[in-house]
Chain A
Amino acid sequence: MALKIVKGSIDRMFDKNLQDLVRGIRNHKEDEAKYISTCIDEIKQELKQDNIAVKANAVCKLTYLQMLGYDVSWAAFNIVEVMSSSKFTYKRIGYLAASQCFHESTDVIMLTTNQIRKDLSSPNQYDTGVALTGLSCFVTPDLARDLANDIMTLMSHTKPYIRKKAVLIMYKVFLKYPESLRPAFPRLKEKLEDPDPGVQSAAVNVICELARRNPKNYLSLAPLFFKLMTSSTNNWVLIKIIKLFGALTPLEPRLGKKLIEPLTNLIHSTSAMSLLYECVNTVIAVLISLSSGMPNHSASIQLCVQKLRILIEDSDQNLKYLGLLAMSKILKTHPKSVQSHKDLILQCLDDKDESIRLRALDLLYGMVSKKNLMEIVKKLMLHVDKAEGTTYRDELLTKIIDICSQSNYQYITNFEWYISILVELTRLEGTRHGHLIASQMLDVAIRVKAIRAFAVAQMATLLDNAHLLTGNMQRNGICEVLYAAAWICGEFSEHLENPMQTLEAMLRPKVATLPGHIQAVYVQNAAKLFATVLKSQEGNTDSTAAQETSQLMIDRLPLFVQSANLEVQERASCILQLVKYIQKLQQKDVEIAEEVNALFAGELNPVAPKAQKKVPVPEGLDLDAWINEPPSESESEDEQPKAIFAKEEPKHSRPRHTEVDEKELARRREARKQEQANNPFYIKASPSSQKVYQDTPGVEHIPVVQIDLSVPLKVPGLPMSDQYVKLEEERRQKERAEKKKKEKKKRKEKRSGRGKKHDSGPESEEDITPAHQVDIVTEEMPENALPSDDDDKDPNDPHKALDIDLDKPLADSEKLPVRSHRETPKSPAEDGDTENAALQEPKKKSTKEKREKKKDKDRDRKKSKEEKKKKKHKHEEKEEDLLGGQADAPVVQSEETSEVVAPPTSTNPEVSDLDFWLSNAPVPSNTQEATTVAEAEAAPPPEAASGTAPDSEPDQPQDADTEEAKSSKHKKKKQKKEKEEKEKKKKKKHHHHHHHSDGGGEESVQNGTVEEEEPLPPMSNYCLLAENSYIKMVYDIQGNLQDGSQVVVSVIFENKGDSFLKSMEFNVLDSLNSKLQRPDGSGPHDGLTVPFQLPPGVSNEARFVFTVQSIIMPQKLKGTLTFIVKNEDSSTHEKLDFKLHFTCTSYLITTPCYSDAFAKLLESGDLKGSSVRLEGVNMPFHHLLARICFHHHFSVVERIDSCASMYSRSIQGHHVCLLVKTSGQTVSIDAKCDEPTLLGNVLDEIKQTFSQC
């Protein structure tokens, strides 16, 4: 055997490790793929071996290969194996590999649940840590649901290292399992004030991340964050908080007012650029949210802009970049303050860094005005010429178009100039944005009527010079422009000076090399042109010209008829036949121009891009309903064609719809006519509208003629936009002079002229009148379009599910699925005894089903949903059950009573708190004080009523609750704080319930007996440890599953007084047998710091691990809790002595057992017997069993009438079997165990339990 190990390790030495693999890959540069494939073969061999070290090594290598892009998902199961290794070094390798390559659809993930749970509760903090880290990368909804409670428990772990990881991972859990947010939130909030800065920062991190997506739910935390902001020194935390405030301010302007001062202070004081930058950002957000009413409003904005200017002027490119970025935010609301830095921004356009240039471009967008648009675009055009690299040039191009077309061409005063800019842009080689330019051309030509003549002339030139554009059109998308050009020339052909020439240009053979869709437009518009030409030629006496034109068409069109593109072919052959027919008529001297023109009569109006989407679905139309019965799946393939055939005649449903539609249509037509009549922007189809337009005042000074004369359009080169700039300047000068002359008159005129006809910029734009009285046609929308802004919201956003109201008190049904840590893990790997685990499976199922039937009524629907979900995932679940539900019932009642009282105190106060905080005193400390007083007056003693309800309950821990409530009576002084704590307390209570339900619940799953019997009273294992006037401690002891020599003591500390308790230290005097586990490096007598502080009235739970050697005898350990009591004026050291009682029961672990295994155990004869009789037990048998189960960690193996066999196992593997019989008031218990002393003690304890009731 030993030899085998030696042999194995020698073998292993020559296995490649990661370093060898890397070295090997580096040495095989030429045939890397081949080398790696041999390595993968080796790895596959290694994975087949039993030695976990070999496997871990192989997995480690796989992780490296994964980085190189190899799919290693085939090894997922081996990764899980390595993850479950008991050795930390291997476990870590496994988790690393898993975090790199597992994802939601990795199926082995579901095998890991128990392994992860085990690691999470491991006494070694690094096991826990590595599991948390791994889990954060591959958490799935199932894992999140099953582990949420475990992770939540870890949030109060003694080690800050674990706490911070647990806090962080909660965010991932929330994302995957949104139901967990509300139950976990109070504790998360608590962590904001954790003594450890790392934990605090993690909590801030998570809450900020949550709040960023759904800020309104976190508004009530603002006071807390404000406090943190004014007290924290950690820049990282500060930045996060300030960013969070940036997200909150838009919702609550008053918050902004409160923030301005501390933020400006920070801006002045901090030396950290990152902090300064974030402050500026948030101040900007604040200023945006404040519409007005801030006296020093402009001062703050000035400060921000100044600081940003400093950033932009900095030599550091990063600062420059961020400065520009922040500037663009100010731009939206305060364009004036930014515009004064135009010089700086234009300068940035020349920066060598592309990122910076892009940011500067963004800014330009907001900086243009009617006055400077031409100048800025001119500058950009220069950049376009200079720009190297097509991406930047394309970006420039889109920016130019964006700038010019923004808000309905608001800043364009001269559309001729704009058209010429567009034409100039077509000269760009290799741009991808031909399409964009084309759509702009179309848009302008269609919507700005006055420009059509000019546009058509320009387009004709373009068409004429098409060869310049299409030089190497395969590469560039600029030929798209020809699409626009052809369409414009065709549609508005009446403006063409020389239509014949254009027609010829459009029918050139070279056109056939253009993309199909452009050719199609060419053909169609050639026909339109043809109609126009015909019209002009028919007026002449000589009819030969017209016939020649027809002949030209007939000659050229066949080229398109042969096109490979169907669209082109179809259109061409249609038109060819038409022209042939026309020719025939022409030869008979028939006048046909009118009729041909009628083919293309009518105006096309622009339609808004979203118009289709906005059409409301007519009443009675269900788009999801089947028109026909869906084909049944059972149909064989032979029948399939039939079904398809039948589908083509959906007669029965159609008519009805059309009927509806017709009515609807008629109604809509009416409405539309009405609206059009009232809409000044709507251009009526009748030519009269044109006339009306011509008559409007202010038109007479349009210098159209002047432009036409001065621009040398006939020059074959393309027009220069610069000339228009010059012209525009002149025009403006002239205008100004004119204006001076007859100022009064003009103003009047203008006002009346402007009001209706064009949408101009604000009056403040130093009154530049556009060169054209521009008639910008608004896009058409369906008349009853739904005004919806949610067009761009992503329905799949995972954060949507997290939009949960957190201020509402927790309902009883909102619990995380609990799985108590007393259970045996099912993970087989190295637990030692797997048989028990294996036994659990089937049993669970049956009880589960029973439970399903017997669901309590008072659980709400959500709960039942949850339960169903659980049912689906039976393979992992086994917690609550009907007994749990029953045990809950009375508690629920008391909870409800308290909640009836609670709402005014627990929901409203949160809000009113915030209101108060926001509306009052500017200095934070003052606020706090003030609020405290106000609250004391306003709020009734909140919990008084709740104290009465649970009084009747017999169990002690229930009393703890009561007392908790009672104690709150005499602390009205600190109402405000208390209220903040309210949530926590609520949660605390739930925590108790957890214990009730999971404790009681778990047993009865195994019982499976109690369906029809009356409910059990609530039970708890927590018993009093010690108490004085300041603090009360209750505790419970559970065996540790993983380690036979460990028990976990959970202590709930409750602050009974009205002072703040801090620096609590928990210490016990170790005995030889039992020792408190202390962190490495501390001495045997050092105390453990309790990882939290207790504000008045609050309780919290801490867990301590003890090592025990012998478990057969009960033990008592003396201990002391020291703590500091802090009042407003003083603080005193206090201590409280206690005795920890380790009963033998606490070493038992509830372990289910099958009856046959149980019988075998009894037959084996290893067990020694003992028995005990209990007299005067006055309770139903199932209560008795439940009590034994609950208090003494047994499970029922079998129950027949008034006789039951029960089983439990100690942490060190002793079997304890009971046979419980009852007759009348006498209960006899026969017991067997392999350790008689232990058994005797357990029986004594059972006896004691029953003597107490």
Chain B
Amino acid sequence: VRSCVEPQIEEDYQAVNVDLQTDATLQVDISDALSERDKVKFTVHTKSTLPNFKQNEFSVVRQHEEFIWLHDSFVENEEYAGYIIPPAPPRPDFDASREKLQKLGEGEGSMTKEEFTKMKQELEAEYLAIFKKTVAMHEVFLCRVAAHPVLRKDMNFHVFLEYNQDLSVRGKNKREKMEDFFKNVVKSADGVLVAGVKDVDDFFEHEKTFLLEYHNRVKDASSKSDRMIRSHKSAADDINRIASTLYTLGTQDSTDVCKFFLKVSELFEKTRKIEARVAADEDLKLADLLKYYLRESQAAKDLLYRRGRALVDYENANKALDKARAKNKDVLQAETSQQVCCQKFEKISESAKQELIDFKTRRVAAFRKNLVELAELELKHAKGNLQLLQSCVGVLKGDT
């Protein structure tokens, strides 16, 4: 299946989740995307006045794995320990949608032509929506990086944007995946330990409690919103099927009641589109927002973990120094190590504070933007629905 993103629709998806300062010196977007059998190819388009780029404007083709590579390179870079690393975009998942399309093909014989066409259109629309969302998430990641004062200068990032060949990043192999898994286990166990340590700084102590709770709640809200939207979509699908059955019922003969059925069918056909739009918009403005902040709050938590870890290291180094001084043994080494830890901790603390403040600012702005848009869309759809219903009821009543 090949699809392209229509630019005007993409606007809907663009910068949905985050508030991005636009900076003319480096602007990144995904101008096009191609979906092939098992991968999506994104055309990353860059406009920049920065001197380290050879040209002012250029495009490269990137795949999901390359985005992940870029993200991981940020995470692994010690330099960036004090920053909230923009969360990696989720893996494009068209499997469910593809599977449905395939099933539809198998079941073609068992339904009427109209039903089939309708179902096919629906699935294609669904597929397109997932596709666009995927594109949008990848774009948001790049935009976040491009807007970050430090990360935007990252070499890997520049290579990612400019190098017009395949970066030949490969997916992680089994061993590496296992390692990642263990690292994560250790990290989360450690995270609990570190989180238990009382912070010396009230600001961070507060942020820590807040983020822990916030993350859990946004996770809950995200999954609940998904469920809500899923049932909303199902209801819209039902209305769609009701509309087509009513249509069949209405075409059986040409009596009054059949005309009536046709009119109602027509109405339902329209309202279900609106209903589906409502579900889609809630998905976009609400569920995606929550999902993004689920990942972003995880990234913020990761930052706090790194800082916590550094703090623990620093304290341990202090203790080791005290011990060394008491025993008068390896004092110099301990001093050096203590200083390194101290510096690292202070550096993280310094940038982390600003990062967390920025996180909050971004969050509030994003929520504002999305909630306002959500309310406006809900209103628009409800009014559209209302109008349809009113005129239809008017016509039907006039008939009777």
Q: Is B one of A's binding partners?
A: no
Question: A residues within 8 Å of B by Cβ?
Answer: none
